[in-house]
Structure 1
C-alpha cells in the first residue's frame, strides 16, 4: 500500500473532489525586485553614512508633520508650560519643555564594537553574534542624536513601555534635567506611508511555513512527509483534505536547511573539503543530503501548488541583508520550473503581490536582532508581534541595520523604510510561536503574522485571502 493510501485508509469522501484555487506570485509587480542586487554591480566599498542620511531625509519631514499636529510650536501647553520646538539637540535649554527630532542610538554592554576589534587585531575575523546586547542588571543607554550632538533619554519607566532601538527616526518631548540628560515624556513616530486599496474579491489560501531545518537525520522525515501530504490535500478526513486542497500557494520563509553543528562531522566531510590558493581548508557547513531532501520535498509539492522559497539565517546565502535568492543549483529536480511562477526564488526581505494583495516578509533576522536590545526578563513585554507593530510605527522594519545587523552598503538609499507604500500583510518567519493580529495606523490596516519554526513546533500558518484571517495548523507525531 502506498504511503498516501495508508494515511488516508478508511476515509470516505463520497467521491467528492477538492478543486484547488491556485494563487501565483506576480512577476511584474513594481516592488518585486526591490531587494535584488545585480551581481555585476554590487559595490561593497561604500560607507553607510549616505544610507543613514537618506533614512533621515525621508522620515524627518514625516515625523515633523505628526509632531507639529500633536505638540505644536509655542501654541500648546502642558501643566502651564508652553511646548517649544528645537531645531537641534544642541539648542535644548535646561528646564524648558520642548521637543526635538533625531535618530535613536542605543549603547549596550554586549554590542559588537569594530573599534575594539581593530585594537585587538581581530577585525579580519567574523565575530560570534552575542545572544543579547544587554545585561538584565544593566539596561541599554538610549540616546537621541543629530548632526549637532547627543542627549541621553532618561525615564526608564517610559522606555520600558515604548520600545526605541538604534536607527529609529522619532521626535521626543521632554525637559533637559541636566546637561546632556533629557527627561522623555512622550514620543512621536513618522507619518505613515500610503497603502494601496485592498482588493475586494480574493479567493484561496496561502500557507506560510518557516524553519523546516532539514538535516541529514532521519527522525524528522516523517513530520515533513505528513506536512507534504497535508499541503497537497491527501491527508486525513474530507474536511482536512478540503483545507489542504484549498491552499493555492506555499511560501517557505527561510531556514530550510540545518547547518552541521558538530565540528567532527564537518571534518569527516572530506568530499566537501577543498584547499584554496593559500593552503587553508574550506569546509562546507552543509550536508549534500539536506539539499537533496529539500529539493525532493518541493518537487513533490509543486505538482499540486506553487512554491516560493526565501533564504534565512541558516541557509546557504549571504550573511548581509538583503539576502539574495538561494542558488538555482539547489533545485536540480525542479530546474525546468525556475523562472516561471510555479517555483519562485525570493530574496529576504521580499515584497510580494498576489491578486492585488501586497505582502512584505522577512525570515526573522530583523525581529531577532531587535529582541537582543530587550532585557530577557522584559521580553514578555515586547513579543515578536509587538516588535513588528513597532516596525510599522517606526516606518522602518530593519532599523538596526547596519549598526548591529549586517546589510549591503546602499548608496543614497535605504530599502528598509516604508517610503511609498505600506503592505496589507507583514509576516516574519522563524519565531518562537504563532501570533497574528490586524493593527491600524492612520487609517491603514496591516495584518501582522509571526510564523513559528516548523521543526520545533510542527506548525504552519494559513492565511485566508477572502477574509484576511489566519489560523495555525499543527502537525504532531
Structure 2
C-alpha cells in the first residue's frame, strides 16, 4: 500500500505550539514501522527544491542537459541530471544484521571512530533503483572532502562576510542531491557537477503588541549566553570552581564595571546539552566483594522505596538543579537534552523530566527543551543541536573542518542526514523533523572541541531585498575549555568568554 504523505511534513512552522518540530508523540515511538518511510519522505519533500535549483543552474548549460525523473530511464552517453538520496557503501560501517549473526559470547569490538576507507563507494538512489557515482567530482577515497568544480549556486548562496572558505562539494549518506553527468557503458554515472536543495526562506517572526510599537533602534541589546558540556556532578573541584565563576559572571558579580554592564545585557541562557556528567559504569563483581557477598550466589533484590544508589546516582541532577536555582531569579534558562543527560539517546531527544529538577521547574523562566530545538529570541530564530548529528557525519570523513560541514548542512536543508543509518532516530512515517523548512538567523552546534563561527549571506526570496544573514556557531564544551559563547540576537555579533582557575 503506498504511503500517504501528511501535509504537516511539507510546510510545518518551526515553533507551532500545537506541534513543535521536534516533539515526539506515542505514534512516533512505534517501532513496528519501517525506516524506509523516512527516506521516502525526505526524497519527496526535498526533490522539488533540488529540481528547482538544478533547472536554474543547468538548463542553459552546454548540451542542454535534461532531468531524468527515474534512475532506470537514464540513457547511456546522453548528458542529463538525476536526483536521489546519497547512499555510502562502506565496508567499515556498522551492520546490524552482521551484529546479530555473531555468536553472543564473542566480545563486541570497540566502536570505530571513523567508517571511511579506500573501498568506499558512493551511490545515488530513488524509488526505481540505484546507480554508482564516479568521475572527477567523486573522490575514490570516500570519506574525504570531495572537491570539484565550484557550483554557481554555492557561490551565490554563501558569501562569507569575513573569512573566505573554499567551496566544498560533500555528499554524505542520506543527503538529497542532483548529479549532472552521463551514464557509462559499465552502468556507472560519470558526474561532473552537483546541486542541493539550498536554504529555504526564513521563518516569520511573531511579536507581541507592545514589541511592535518599538523601533529596532530603540530596542535594548539582547544577548544570549550559550553553554554546553557543563557536566554537573563530575566531582572535579576545578570544574566546580569554573561553574561558580560562570554563575558570578552571569549575575554581574564578577570583574569590574565593564563586565557587570556586559552581563546585565544577557537576558537568556541556553544550556545546550551534556549538562550532567556521564555516570561511571558499575563493576558488579567489585560491588559484591565490598558488600561481603558473592555475585554468583546472592541474588540482588530490588529496592522497595526510592532508588538503588549502587545503580543510579542523583548527584548530577541535584547539582544541576541547585546551580540553576542561583541564576533563574535573574534570567530565563532553556535546558536542552544531550548525549550524557538522562534521556533516551534516540533523536530527537526528549525534554528532561521536570521531576528531575524540582527547584528549577518551579520558575516561570525555566524551559526544558528537546534536542534539536528551535528558539525565537527577540527578532531572531535560533536552531541548535547538542552535537550528535555533526559528530556522526564526521565518522564518514577524514577531514576535521567541522565548521565547513556545519555550513554544508544548511545547503543540504537537512541537519541530520545520517539518521537513521548510523545515528539513532525514531521511525517517523508522517514527517522528517530534521528537514529545514525555514532558515534560522542563528544556527549553533554544541559540545565541540573548539569555538568556531562564520557569518553567512544568502539571497533573499524577495527580489530587490537585502541579503539574509545566518550566524553559524560551534559551541565548545565548557568542561574542556571553560568557554561560553555570547550572541547578540539583533546584530548577530558573537563574543567568547573564558573562565580559568
TM-score range, shorter chain: 0.7 to 0.9
1:61 match: 48
Match of 1:353 in 2: 376
Paired residue for 2:260?
Answer: 241
TM-score (norm 1): 0.82
* 3-state DSSP of counterpart to 2:258: helix
Deviation at 1:441, TM superposition (A): 3.3
Q: Which moved more, 1:236-245 or 1:151-160?
A: 151-160
- The alignment status of 1:402 with 2:420, answered yes or no, reads yes
Aligned to 1:45: 32
Does 125-134 or 82-91 show the bigger shift?
125-134
Q: Does 111-120 or 315-324 show the bigger shift?
A: 111-120
Q: How far apart, CA to CA, are the structure 2 residues paired with 1:184 and 1:327?
A: 49
Pairing 1:359-370 to 2, within 5 Å after superposition: 359-370=382-393
| Structure 1 residue 120 corresponds to structure 2 residue 102 | yes
Mapped contact 2:379–2:490 kept (Cα < 8 A):
no
1:320 to 335, 339, 346: 346
Q: In structure 2, do the counterparts of structure 1 residues 127 and 60 end up closer, same or farther at CA, with 3 Å as the change threshold? A: farther
**TM-fit CA distance, 1:263:** 4.1
1:149 is aligned to 2:129: yes
Q: In structure 2, what is the equivalent of residue 97 of structure 1?
A: 79
1:185 aligns with 2:185: no
Alignment pair present for 1:289 and 2:315: yes
Q: Is residue 83 from structure 1 mapped to residue 65 from structure 2 by the alignment?
A: yes
Q: Report the CA distance between 1:335 and its aligned residue.
A: 3.2
Partner of 2:490: 466
Within 5 Å, give how 1:398-477 maps onto structure 2.
Answer: 398-419=416-437, 421-443=438-460, 444-477=468-501
Partner residue in 1 for 2:23: 36
Q: Secondary structure at the match of 2:500?
A: coil
How far did 1:422 drift?
Answer: 1.6
Shift of 1:185: 1.1
Residues 337-395 of structure 1: CA deviation (Å, up to 9, x unaligned): 2xx3x1100000111112332111110001111011102xx22xxx2221121111111
Do structure 1's residue 134 and structure 2's residue 113 form an aligned pair?
no
1:373 pairs, out of 396, 399, 409, with 396
Shift of 1:52: 1.5
How big is the shift at 1:110?
Answer: 2.2
Aligned to 2:357: 331
Contact 1:252–1:307 (CA<8 Å) still a contact in 2? yes
- Partner Cα distance (1:122, 1:100) in 2: 43
CA distance in 2, matches of 1:283, 1:95: 68
Deviation at 1:328, TM superposition (A): 1.2
* Alignment partner of 1:256 is 2:248: no
Shift of residue 296 of structure 1?
1.1
Please give the alpha-carbon distance, in whole angstroms, between the structure 1 residues aligned to 2:134 and 2:26.
Answer: 45
For 2:249 and 2:18, locate their aligned partners in 1 and report how far apart those are by CA, in whole Å: 32
Backbone CA RMSD of aligned residues:
3.0
Matched residues in 2 for 1:323 and 1:267: separation? 33
Q: Does 1:164 align with 2:190?
A: no
Once the two structures are superposed, what CA deviation does each residue of 1:203-222 show, in whole Å capped at 9, x if it has no partner?
31000010112213333211
Determine if the alignment matches structure 1 residue 231 to structure 2 residue 218: no
Match of 2:9 in 1: none
**Length-normalised TM-score, structure 2:** 0.79
How far did residue 285 of structure 1 move? 7.0
SS in 2 for 1:52: helix
SS at match of 1:219: helix
Does the 8 A contact of 1:83 with 1:98 survive in 2?
Answer: yes
The number of residues matched between the two structures is 430
1:389 matched residue in structure 2: 407
Question: Separation in 1 of the partners of 2:240 and 2:78?
Answer: 65
**What secondary structure, in the 3-state scheme, does the structure 2 residue paired with 1:250 have?**
strand
- Structure 2 stretches lacking a partner, 5+ long: 1-13, 140-145, 148-168, 208-214, 292-298, 461-467
Shift of 1:31: 8.0
